[in-house]
Structure 1
Amino acid sequence: MNFKSVFIFFIFLLISTQFLFAEQWDIVKSRGKGTITVFYYNSEHFISDSSGKLEGIEYDIFIAFKQYLKNQGVDITINFKKATDFSSLYEEIKYGGSGEFGVCSFSITEQRMKEISFSPRYMPDVQVLISSGNIPFAKNEEEFINIFSELTAIAVRNTTFEQDLLKLQETVPNFKIEYEQSSSMIRDRIISSDNLFGYIELPTYLTLFNNGLRFKRQNLFKVERDGYAITLPKNSSWLEPINDFFNSDAFKLEVNQIIKKHLGKGVKDLLWKIEHSEEGESQSEITLLTMERETQELEIKQQTLKVQILVGGGAVILVILFLLVFGYRMKRSANKSLTERNNLIEKQKTELERLSIVAEKMNEAVVIADSSGKIEYYNNGLVRNSGYSEEEFKVNFKDLMYLQKITSRNDIQAIIDGFQTDSTPFLYDSQHVKKDGSTMWTAASLSPVYDDEKELYKIIVVYTDIDESKEFSNQLSEKNKEIMDSIHYAKMIQDAMLPSESMMGNVFDDNFILFKPKDIVSGDFYWFEEIGDYFILVLADCTGHGVPGAFMSMMGSNFLTNIITDNAIRSTSKALTLLDTKVKKALLSENHHSRDGMDIAFMAYNKIEKTLDFSGGNNSIFILREGELMKYKGDRFSIGSDGIEDKKFTEERIQLQKGDIVYTFTDGYKDQFGGPKGKKFMQKQLLSIITENAASPLKKQKEILDDRIEEWMKGYEQIDDISVMGFKV
Structure 2
Amino acid sequence: METTDAQINFENFFNKNTNGFCILNLQGLILHSNPAFHQKLGFHPEELKQKSFLQLIHPQEATLVQKRFVQFIQNGQSNKNRFQHKEEGTINLEWNVSLQKEEKLLFVTTRHLDDKYRDIEERSRIYVNIIENNWDAIIFSDIGGKILFANDSASKMYCYDRNELIGKNIETFNTTEASEKAKEIVSSLKQFGGWSGEVVHQRKDETVIYVHLTISMLFNNASHPIGLVSNSKDITKIKEVEQQLIIAKNKTEEANLKLSEEKDKVQRAHQNMQASINYAKYIQDAMLPKESEIKRYLPESFILFRPRDIVSGDFYWFTFTEAKPVYTEYSDFEQKTKVLTGFDNEKILLAAVDCTGHGVPGAFMSVMANTYLNEIVITEGITEPHLILSRLHKRIRVALNQESTDNKDGMDISLVVIDREANKMCYAGAKNPLYLYQDGQFKVFPGTPRNIGGPAMTPIPFEYHVVNINQPTTFYLFSDGYQDQFGETTGRKFLKKHFREMIQEVCTLPITEQQTIFENRLAKWQGTEPQTDDILVVGVHLAPTLPETTNE
TM, length-normalised to structure 2:
0.53
SS in 1 for 2:317: strand
Matched with 1:325 is: none
The 1:484/1:610 distance shift into structure 2, 3 A limit, reads farther
Deviations for 1:210-260, whole angstroms, at most 9, x for unmatched residues? xx9969xxxxxxxxxxxxxxxxxxxxxxxxxxxxxxxxxxxxxxxxxxxxx
What is the deviation of 1:496?
A: 2.3
Q: Is structure 2 residue 463 aligned with structure 1 residue 650?
A: yes
Match of 2:366 in 1: 553
Q: 1:713 to 1:151 in 2, by over 3 A?
A: farther
Q: 1:461 to 1:566 in 2, by over 3 A?
A: closer
Residue 477 of structure 1: how far off its partner (Å): 10
Equivalent residue, structure 1, for 2:381: 568
From 154, 170, 181, give the equivalent of 1:385: 181
Q: Contact 2:189–2:195 at 8 Å: present in 1 too? A: no
Q: Equivalent residue for 2:46?
A: none
Cα 1:433/1:522, change in 2 over 3 Å: closer
Whether 1:512 and 2:429 are equivalent positions in the alignment is no
Counterparts in 2 of 1:144 and 1:629: CA distance versus 1, 3 Å: farther
Using the TM superposition, give the Cα deviation of residue 637 of structure 1 relative to its aligned residue in structure 2, in angstroms.
0.9
Of 567, 587, 609, 2:422 maps to 609
1:310 aligns with 2:170: yes
In the TM superposition, 1:160-175 aligns within 5 A as 169=88, 171-172=90-91, 174-175=113-114
Corresponding residue for 1:537? 350
Question: Do the aligned partners of 1:542 and 1:553 also contact (CA within 8 Å) in 2?
Answer: yes
**SS of 1:689's equivalent?**
helix
SS in 1 for 2:170: coil
Contact 1:442-1:463 at 8 Å conserved across structures? no
CA contact (8 A) 1:543 1:596 kept: yes
Q: Write the distance in 2 (CA, Å) between the matches of 1:726 and 1:188.
A: 39
Q: Secondary structure at the match of 2:520?
A: helix
Q: Report if the CA contact (8 A) 2:316-2:351 is conserved.
A: yes
**Ranges in structure 1 where 5+ consecutive residues have no aligned partner:** 1-139, 153-165, 180-184, 193-211, 216-305, 314-361, 366-380, 387-396, 413-427, 448-455
Counterpart selection for 2:495 from 682, 685, 695: 682
1:407 aligns with 188
Distance in 1 (alpha carbons) for counterparts of 2:172 and 2:63: 40
Residue of structure 2 equivalent to 1:486: 276
**Mapped contact 2:434–2:445 kept (Cα < 8 A):** yes
CA, structure 1 residues 441+538, in 2 after alignment: closer, same or farther (shift >3 Å)? closer
Whichever residue aligns with residue 310 of structure 1, its letter is I
The answer to whether the 8 Å contact 1:623/1:660 transfers is yes
Deviation at 1:649, TM superposition (A): 0.7
Q: CA RMSD in A?
A: 4.9
- CA deviation after TM superposition for structure 1 residue 521, in Å: 1.9
- Secondary structure of the structure 1 residue equivalent to 2:421: coil
Is the CA contact 2:147–2:168 (under 8 Å) kept in the aligned structure 1? no
Question: 2:316 maps to what in 1?
Answer: 526
Work out whether residues 178 and 715 of structure 1, in 8 Å CA contact, stay in contact via their aligned partners in 2: no
Q: Give 1:634's match in structure 2, choosing from 447, 452, 457.
A: 447
Shift of 1:547: 1.2
Alpha-carbon separation, structure 1, partners of 2:290 and 2:363: 18
- In 2, Cα distance between the equivalents of 1:664 and 1:507? 17
Q: Distance in 2 between matches of 1:594 and 1:682?
A: 29
For residue 721 of structure 1, what is the amino acid of its counterpart? Answer: D
Alpha-carbon distance in structure 2 between the residues aligned to 1:480 and 1:410 = 32
Tell me whether 1:143 sits opposite 2:55 in the alignment.
no
Query: Using the alignment, how far apart are the partners of 1:694 and 1:463 within structure 2?
Result: 55
Query: How many residue pairs get matched?
Result: 353
Note closer, same or farther for the CA distance 1:658–1:190 as it changes in structure 2 (3 Å cut): closer
Hey, what's the Cα distance between the residues in 2 that align with 1:713 and 1:473?
45
* Change in CA separation of 1:430 and 1:646 when aligned onto 2, cut-off 3 Å: closer
1:561-582 CA distances to partner (integer Å, 9 max, x unpaired)?
A: 2211122222211221111111
Q: Which residue of 1 aligns with 2:529?
A: 716
CA distance in 2, matches of 1:499, 1:429: 48
CA distance, structure 1, for counterparts of residue 279 and residue 131 of structure 2:
36
Q: Which residue of 2 aligns with 1:49?
A: none
Where does residue 316 of structure 1 map in the other structure?
Answer: none
* Rounded Cα–Cα distance in structure 2 between residues aligned with 1:684 and 1:507: 31
Specify the alignment match of 1:496 in structure 2: 286
Paired residue for 1:667, among 457, 475, 480?
A: 480
2:367 aligns to what SS in structure 1? helix
Q: Which amino acid letter does the alignment assign opposite residue 502 of structure 1?
A: S
The offset of 1:363, in angstroms, is 4.9
1:674 alignment partner, SS class: coil
Partner SS, residue 506 of structure 1: helix
- Counterpart amino acid of residue 557 in structure 1: N
Equivalent pair of 2:438/2:471 in contact (CA under 8 Å): no
Q: 1:65-214 maps to which residues of 2 (within 5 A)? A: 142-143=59-60, 169=88, 171-172=90-91, 174-176=113-115
Q: Hey, what's the Cα distance between the residues in 2 that align with 1:641 and 1:690?
A: 31
Q: Please state how far the C-alpha of 1:612 moved relative to its aligned partner.
A: 1.3
Q: Which position in structure 2 is the counterpart of 1:594?
A: 407
| Alpha-carbon distance between aligned partners in 2 of 1:485 and 1:562, rounded to the nearest angstrom | 30
> 2:170 is aligned with what amino acid?
L
Cα distance in structure 1, aligned partners of 2:229 and 2:301: 64
Change (3 A) 1:443 1:643: same
SS at the partner of 1:528? strand
Letter in 1 for 2:181: N
Aligned partners of 1:463, 1:509: CA distance in 2, in Å? Answer: 55
Q: 1:727 to 1:480 in 2, by over 3 A?
A: farther
Q: State whether residues 418 and 424 of structure 2, in contact with CA within 8 Å, keep that contact through their aligned partners in structure 1.
A: yes
Tell me the alpha carbon deviations over residues 242-286 of structure 1, each in whole angstroms, 9 at most, x when there is no partner. xxxxxxxxxxxxxxxxxxxxxxxxxxxxxxxxxxxxxxxxxxxxx
Say which SS state the counterpart of residue 679 (structure 1) adopts: coil
Task: Write the distance in 2 (CA, Å) between the matches of 1:723 and 1:461.
Answer: 46
Q: 1:686 to 1:527 in 2, by over 3 A?
A: same
| Cα distance in 2, alignment partners of residues 482 and 536 from structure 1 | 36
Residues 142 and 551 of structure 1: CA distance in aligned 2, closer, same or farther (over 3 Å):
same
Give 1:695 deviation, angstroms. 4.1
CA offsets 1:408-428 (integer angstroms, 9 cap, x no match): 45466xxxxxxxxxxxxxxx7
Measured in 2, the distance between the counterparts of 1:702 and 1:408 equals: 54
- CA distance, structure 2, for counterparts of residue 460 and residue 693 of structure 1: 57
Aligned pairs (5 A) from 1:95-494: 142-143=59-60, 169=88, 171-172=90-91, 174-176=113-115, 309-312=169-172, 363=175, 384-385=180-181, 406-408=187-189, 410=191, 469=234, 481-494=271-284
Q: Distance in 2 between matches of 1:654 and 1:515?
A: 26
* TM-score under structure 1 length normalisation: 0.41
Q: 1:598 to 1:363 in 2, by over 3 A?
A: closer
Q: Distance in 1 between matches of 2:131 and 2:169?
A: 18
- 1:464-506 superposed Cα distances (whole Å, 9 cap, x missing partner): 9x98747789999985642242333332232222222234323
Aligned partners of 1:684, 1:673: CA distance in 2, in Å? 14
Query: Separation in 1 of the partners of 2:229 and 2:499?
Result: 59
Q: What is the aligned partner in structure 2 of residue 303 from structure 1?
A: none
Distance 1:311 1:602, change over 3 A: same
CA offsets 1:102-145 (integer angstroms, 9 cap, x no match): xxxxxxxxxxxxxxxxxxxxxxxxxxxxxxxxxxxxxx964399
